[in-house]
Amino acid sequence: MVHSDFCKQFIPEGGVVLDVGSGRGKFLCIMASLGFKAYGVEINSAYIAESENRAKSEGVSIKVVQSGGEELPFPDNYFDFVNCTEVTEHVDDPMAVCREIGRVLKPGSHAYISFHNRFGIYDYHYHLWGINWLPRAWTGPILFFLGKAKEEGVGIGRQTLTSMHYFLYSQIKKIITNNGFTFTDTREEKIKKYFPVAALFLLPFYRRLARPIAFNSFHLLLTKHSS
């Protein structure tokens, strides 16, 4: 399922949507084309300009503010849905981002968020197998030797393997629940939906082997507590 199609299930008609780390604006423009009020926050000024140009060319209205996710420039309980994908690894403080999402989200509403897996077998940032299984202190010299080393840059967030935030699933559960959310693993829900009979056998395999190492990231649907 396309990400926007999945998300729109949880947004009321004409709802207000926020994309944290909105990048080049693709998700925002799709949400706007579906009739939602689309807001974004992005630290990269070039991406903001590109987002505005995309919206203009597609004939939709969006609003992007230059800001980090740790201090969202919006009032409490304002949004019907928050999207935050491929972002938490790049920010300075992922827990602050989660707190801010909880603050601006309306009670009972949903957010979609992803976190990168500390022991994912394949790393999509560096396009390497097994690099996440090594001690982090080793990865700098190895990436330099392979010609894949990156440098930190202004306005693009954390980019090096030693500075980005990667997590265990158990750590993610604590972060999410401590910030006033309940959550579901979206991959688990898809297994239950599309393979209802086989789910009895597939879910234990997924939880014990596939989720801990086969996937490079965890994808969660959050629900803010109603009170």
92-54-3 Cα angle (round to 5): 60
Residue 178 maps to a domain: yes
Query: 205 with 112: CB under 8 angstroms?
Result: no
Q: Name the token pair of 25.
A: 């604006």
CA torsion, ordered 21, 46, 118, 195, to nearest 10 deg: 60
Q: What is the CATH number of the domain that holds 102?
A: 3.40.50
Question: Whole domain around residue 89: which residue ranges?
Answer: 68-224
Asked whether residue 82 is assigned to any structural domain, the reply reads: yes
pLDDT digits (tens, 9 = 90+) for 36-84: 999 999 999 999 999 999 999 999 999 999 999 999 999 999 999 999 9
Confidence of residue 152 (pLDDT cuts 50, 70, 90): confident
End-to-end Cα spacing for the chain: 32
For residue 71, give the amino acid letter. Answer: E
What is the Cα–Cα distance from 77 to 194, expressed in whole angstroms?
34
Split at pLDDT 50, 70, 90, the class of 151 is confident
* pLDDT of amino acid 1: 66
Instruction: Give a yes or no: residue 210 inside a domain.
Output: yes
pTM: 0.94
Q: Is residue 19 in some structural domain?
A: no
In this structure, are residues 107 and 77 in contact, taking their beta carbons and an 8 Å threshold? yes
Would you place residue 226 in the very low, low, confident or very high pLDDT band (cuts 50, 70, 90)?
A: confident
Each residue of 3-31: pLDDT tens digit?
Answer: 999 999 999 999 999 999 999 999 999 99
Considering the domain boundaries, does residue 102 fall inside one?
yes
Q: What is the mean pLDDT of the chain?
A: 95
How many domains does the chain contain in total? 1
